[in-house]
Amino acid sequence: MSLQDAISRLSSFWAARGCLVLPPCTLEIPGGVLHPDAFFRLLDEEPWRAAYLQPVRRPLDGRYGRHPSRLARHLQFQVLLKAPGDDARDLYLASLADLGLELAVHDLRFAEWSWQALSLDAWGLGWHVLIDGLGVSRMTFLQQLAGRELEPVALEISYGLERLMMAVGRVRNAFELPWADGGPSYGELWRRDEEELTRYAAEVADAEAIERQLALFLESARRSLDAGLPRFAYEQTVKCLREIDLLETRRELSIRDREQRLGQVRDLVLDVAAAYLAARARPPAEPPGAVEAQAPAAAPEKKARTRKRKGSRRAAKKA
């Protein structure tokens, strides 16, 4: 099965189980859970089931396109289920079978793991899924986000598409995976990109310029919060993570420096979450267009009255 078909199959599988299939986040993010429609929807108490393909960027994992399964840019298929049922693992296994994975002939293991993200003040518990020793997915029951206990708890399923399809197709190198049946391979499409991404992050990126860019994003996020724009502030905050990843790839950060910068991002995330929830608690404002749309309607009547008054004046002068 090609990667293109796998994306379509997973989308159909989860759509049939009540998930909205969303477009990917257009920002460069290091993980699918940072998608704005994941972050904000997880904070409130309303039901939410969604699935989406998300390209992620992790400069530290770049190997110039020479490693068979470690990539600076790879594809995640992300599923979020608020208040998941007891059949979460069964659903996940059914989705693998739908992709054509023969579970009986592979060594599939669920290894317990705990997830923490300092920048999001978040944590969760779950499983790291391995097939024949290769990590292909993560299933995480998210307990906390932005310093807030999640109620209800949400399940995040993150499929590493390249690695998963290597197992399905018994392929030893991600770059040999077919993107489409009879079409180009993954490597023909993106090996050059992988090489350039790694080279930029490891050799070309300028640390001083990155620091300036990071400061601008931090400032922009604060200014957006002051203006009452939590969603835009969140986008600027997420951009900070890319700059921090680049600094780390360039080996410009000590452990203390890294924690300090991630702490700045965490503080913004906490304020973004508070502003978003406060905005939701307020009644929605009337859209500006609702008032403006009525204004032109009065213009013809006013013009008619003006013509009538002018006509009356002319008649009075003639008299």
- 85 versus 94: which is more confidently predicted? 94
138 vs 88: CA distance, rounded Å: 12
Q: pLDDT at position 243, please? A: 96
Can you give the pLDDT at residue 133?
93
User: What does the alpha-carbon distance between residue 137 and residue 155 come to, in Å, rounded to a whole number?
Assistant: 13
DSSP symbol at 269: H
The pLDDT of residue 126: 96
Residue 247 has pLDDT above 90, yes or no: yes
Exposure string over 51-87, b if 16+ CB within 10 A, otherwise e: bbbbebbbbebbeebebbbbbbbbbbbbbbbbebeee
Q: What was the pLDDT predicted at 237?
A: 97
298 has a pLDDT exceeding 80: no
pLDDT above 70 (res 295): no
Q: What is the pLDDT of residue 18?
A: 95
What pLDDT band is residue 316 in, cutting at 50, 70 and 90?
very low
pLDDT of 296 over the 90 cut: no
User: Residue 160, SS3?
Assistant: strand
3-state SS assignment for residue 54: strand
Quote the distance between the C-alpha of residue 78 and its chain's center.
9
Which pLDDT score, from 0 to 100, does residue 309 have?
A: 52
Q: Could you give the dihedral angle defined by the CA atoms of residues 255, 258, 263 and 268, in that order, rounded to the nearest 10 degrees?
A: -170
CA atoms within 13 A on the CB side of 37: 21
Asked if residue 290 has pLDDT above 70, the reply is no
Query: Which range (15-19, 27-31, 285-289) has the least confidence?
Result: 285-289
pLDDT(314) > 70 = no
Going by pLDDT thresholds of 50, 70 and 90, the confidence category of residue 119 is very high
- CA-atom Rg of the chain in angstroms: 26
Other residues' Cβ atoms within 10 Å of the Cβ of residue 172: 9
Share of the chain above pLDDT 70, in %: 89
Residue 58: per-residue pLDDT: 94
All domains of the chain, ordered by start, with CATH? Answer: 3-204 (3.30.930.10), 207-281 (1.20.58.180)
pLDDT in tens, 195-215: 999 999 999 999 999 999 999
